[in-house]
Amino acid sequence: MANPELRRMLERGEVFFAPAVWDCITARLARHLGFKCLYVPGSGTGIAIGESEPMTTLTHTAMVAERALEGVDDAPMIVDVMCGFGNTIHVQLTVRTLEDAGVSAMHMEDQLFPGRVHYFRGVEHVVGLEEYQQRIEYAVKARRSRDFLIIARNDISHAVEAGPNPREEAVKRAHAALEVGADAIFITGIQPQRDDMQYYRSQIKDVPMVTTPQTNKAGEMLTLKDYKDLGYQVILYPQVIQTALLAMHDAYKPVKETGYLPEESEERTNEIRGLSQTLLRLEEKWAVEAATTESRQS
């Protein structure tokens, strides 16, 4: 069942980053570094299975989330379920599957299902308000515990169907989601030049707000204090995956070109070896062996 700590964190008014993870070892690394909450974005599920996000299924999503949670069963986790993988009955199956997996929250959006890969080119389509509201309503009805949170995401402000007043449409969808029991609101397409964060917070009151990393008008990344001052509590960080892929690319490339990895100092090599041993929990395993198989050798 869902870990109640995420609900408690929000009720306490905590403000926190939730970095992307996509397997057991990345989840452990995030926890080792002190992150209180983890996040499986749709892009993370896609990369983990070698596909683009719109091609993923509920099975893929649950598999990636469960694998990550195996490494950190004490951490709350938020999972991106895109459009809920179908109509309202499929949405309800999605809720029950992730709740059973131990996930603490899911965010669900108003884009079309099946998903379109054109999303990655900035061509985004959304369903009508009534259909979107029904997705959220039946997700709320399907959960068995209030510890499993429903985060209502909407992408209307930058969709093809946005209309002449996209911000107002985004607020309307947020309120429609809250009317049927959503626990938090996540509006994408925020533009600092329009003071979108301030505008949405002023129009959507007394409920946790979720966002992704944002900049101010000068292009500077916001700090945790900035988010707190703006009234946003959860900052989802999906971009970690792309950065990790870049680092892996930069490791593979010299091997292909020269046959060798870039040279590292002995200190750095030992540091990485020690980190790997910590994340693999070798100390615990060594202790078991010392008390059993190794002790019989002496």
Domains of the chain by start residue, with CATH: 5-245 (3.20.20.60), 264-298 (no CATH)
* 6-12 average pLDDT score: 98
Q: Look at residues 254, 265, 274, 204 and name the one whose alpha carbon lies nearest to residue 233.
A: 204
Q: Which residues contact 21 (CB under 8 A, 6 or more apart)?
A: 27, 29, 30, 38, 39, 40, 44, 68, 240
DSSP secondary structure code for residue 180 in this structure: T
Q: Say what the pTM is.
A: 0.94
Q: Tally Cβ neighbours within 10 Å of residue 237.
A: 17
Give the percent of the chain with pLDDT over 70: 98
Region of 85 please: left (phi>0), alpha (psi -120 to 50) or beta. Answer: left
Is the pLDDT assigned to residue 96 strictly greater than 70?
A: yes
CB 48 within 8 A of CB 22: yes
- 295: confidence class by pLDDT, cuts 50, 70, 90: confident
Is the pLDDT assigned to residue 1 strictly greater than 80?
A: yes
- 140: confidence class by pLDDT, cuts 50, 70, 90: very high
Taking the alpha carbons of 106, 109, 111, 117 in that order, is the dihedral positive or negative? negative
> What integer pLDDT is reported at residue 117 of this predicted model?
78
Mean pLDDT, the chain, as a whole number? 93
| C-alpha to C-alpha distance for 277 and 109, rounded to whole angstroms | 39
- 120: confidence class by pLDDT, cuts 50, 70, 90: low
* 197-217 average pLDDT score: 97
Mind listing the pLDDT tens digit for each residue in 23-62? Answer: 999 999 999 999 999 999 998 899 889 988 888 999 999 9
- 199: confidence class by pLDDT, cuts 50, 70, 90: very high
Q: Look at residues 53, 8, 69, 30 and name the one whose alpha carbon lies nearest to residue 244.
A: 30
Mind listing the pLDDT tens digit for each residue in 241-264? Answer: 889 999 999 999 999 999 998 888
Instruction: Indicate the SS3 state at residue 200.
Output: helix
Give the percent of the chain with pLDDT over 90: 81
- 297: confidence class by pLDDT, cuts 50, 70, 90: low
> What integer pLDDT is reported at residue 71 of this predicted model?
81
Mind listing the pLDDT tens digit for each residue in 168-179? Answer: 999 999 999 999
| C-alpha to C-alpha distance for 134 and 154, rounded to whole angstroms | 13
| C-alpha to C-alpha distance for 261 and 255, rounded to whole angstroms | 5
Q: What angle do CA 27, 104, 191 make, to 5 degrees?
A: 80
Q: Look at residues 35, 61, 7, 17 and name the one whose alpha carbon lies nearest to residue 210.
A: 17
Q: Map tokens 């169907």 to a residue.
A: 161
CB 72 within 8 A of CB 28: yes
Is the pLDDT assigned to residue 119 strictly greater than 70?
A: no
Weakest-pLDDT range from 68-72, 124-128, 278-282, 292-296: 292-296
